[in-house]
């Protein structure tokens, strides 16, 4: 059963449905399959984020007593402040009731994790969500262990997936769990999908938007660093530039930016490397030198650690079209 609200992302709903319906067609007829229902605040049309509508078969109040899997897709709200997770108090209130808790398995797609968290269903659990709202989830719900790079996370009977299309990855994992991996592979081949996509979702994210420090010295340093990546950006050098002791500088920088100076410099260098990969034809050695890593080996290791794919794979994936 998929619980939807106005403003839901269409692919959050359609992706898993396509996986389950394809699995149903491929299963032997003597094997129990999937029956997917869409539940909304009311029966009838529910407006999606892109302007199209989907039909809810029933309302949440009309759910059957036994729910095998409850899936909560999400929505993304764009405004001047950036991207936020769609909020739906009526669904959150229902998710907190015993009726929702009767589900044998609970899952979310994309920013749907925010509604699970608001209902207390992710308390003390590991979870993921769309990369654009991962920081919001962590800030709003510190009781949730957010894994921002994961494609999907399973914590006992609760599953969460990352952004939009990863609902398909989640559904494939559910099919493999319910039946066997070979059926999930057949479904993936039928849908022309990866059975397990390479890398995490951070490879698809925009380059990181870092918190802007309110301290004037740290803010000036943040503005200065991207244009001086080949210079000495050690803690000592940065503290000297900020006219602070190393200890005080390290403490205030972490308080203001949410990471150590070394982590910040590494992230800015990796973002710069990603831009070089996408917008220039420069080789890895040239890029490594241009962003201050100094060696291809260091660039390769840190890039794969951050994005889940090699620099070469990243460039190929995001700059090469199909034929």
> Quick one: DSSP state of residue 23?
H
Distances (CA, A) of 310 to 126, 203, 274, 300: 26, 10, 11, 6
| Angle at alpha carbon of residue 23, lines to 17 and 29, rounded to 5° | 125
Q: Considering the domain 2-204, what is its CATH architecture?
A: 3-Layer(aba) Sandwich (3.40)
| Angle at alpha carbon of residue 201, lines to 197 and 203, rounded to 5° | 95
Return the structure tokens found at 157.
């009977």
| Structural domain boundaries in the chain | 2-204, 216-319
- Give, for all 323 residues of the chain, the pLDDT tens digit: 999 999 999 999 999 999 999 999 999 888 888 999 999 999 999 999 989 999 999 998 777 677 899 999 999 999 876 789 999 999 999 999 988 988 999 999 999 999 999 999 999 999 999 988 998 999 999 999 999 888 899 999 999 999 889 999 999 999 999 998 889 889 988 998 766 666 666 656 554 456 778 888 898 898 899 999 999 999 999 999 999 999 999 999 988 888 899 999 998 999 899 889 988 899 999 999 999 998 999 999 999 988 888 999 888 877 754 44
> Quick one: DSSP state of residue 205?
S
Distances (CA, A) of 37 to 21, 43, 170: 11, 11, 18
> Distance between CA atoms of 248 and 224, rounded to whole angstroms?
19
215 class by beta-carbon count within 10 Å (0-12 exposed, 13-18 middle, 19+ buried): middle
CB 108 within 8 A of CB 144: no
CATH topology of domain 216-319: Arc Repressor Mutant, subunit A (1.10.10)
Closest-CA residue to 176 (of 26, 73, 74): 26
CB 264 within 8 A of CB 271: no
pTM of the model: 0.71
């Amino acid at each position: 059963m998929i619980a939807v609200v106005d403003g839901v992302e269409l692919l959050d709903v359609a992706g898993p449905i396509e996986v389950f319906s394809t699995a149903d067609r491929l299963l032997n007829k003597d094997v129990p399959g999937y029956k997917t229902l869409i539940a909304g605040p009311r029966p009838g049309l529910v407006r999606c984020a892109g302007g199209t509508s989907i039909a809810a078969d029933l309302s949440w109040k009309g759910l059957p007593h036994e729910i095998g899997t409850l899936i909560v897709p999400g929505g993304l709200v764009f405004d001047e402040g950036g991207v936020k997770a769609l909020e739906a108090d009526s669904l959150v209130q229902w998710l907190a009731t015993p009726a929702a808790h009767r589900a044998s398995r609970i899952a979310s797609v994309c920013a749907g994790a925010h509604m699970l968290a608001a209902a207390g269903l992710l308390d003390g659990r590991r979870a993921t969500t769309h990369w654009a709202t991962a920081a919001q989830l962590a800030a709003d719900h510190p009781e949730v262990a957010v894994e921002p790079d994961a494609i999907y996370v399973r914590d006992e009977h609760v599953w969460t997936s990352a952004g939009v299309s990863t609902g398909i990855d989640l559904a494939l994992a559910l099919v493999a769990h319910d039946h066997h991996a070979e059926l999930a592979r057949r479904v993936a081949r039928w849908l022309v999908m990866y059975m397990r996509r390479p890398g995490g979702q951070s490879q698809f994210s925009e380059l990181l938007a870092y918190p802007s420090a309110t301290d004037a010295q740290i803010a000036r340093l943040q503005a200065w660093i991207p244009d001086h990546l080949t210079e000495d950006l050690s803690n000592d050098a940065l503290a000297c530039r900020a006219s602070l002791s190393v200890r005080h500088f390290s403490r205030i920088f972490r308080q203001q930016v949410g990471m150590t100076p070394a982590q910040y410099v590494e992230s800015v260098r990796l973002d710069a490397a990603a831009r070089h990969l996408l917008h220039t034809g420069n080789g890895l050695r040239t890029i490594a030198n241009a962003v201050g890593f100094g060696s291809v080996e260091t660039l390769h290791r840190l890039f794969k650690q951050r994005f889940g794919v090699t620099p070469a794979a990243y460039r190929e994936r995001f700059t090469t079209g199909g034929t």
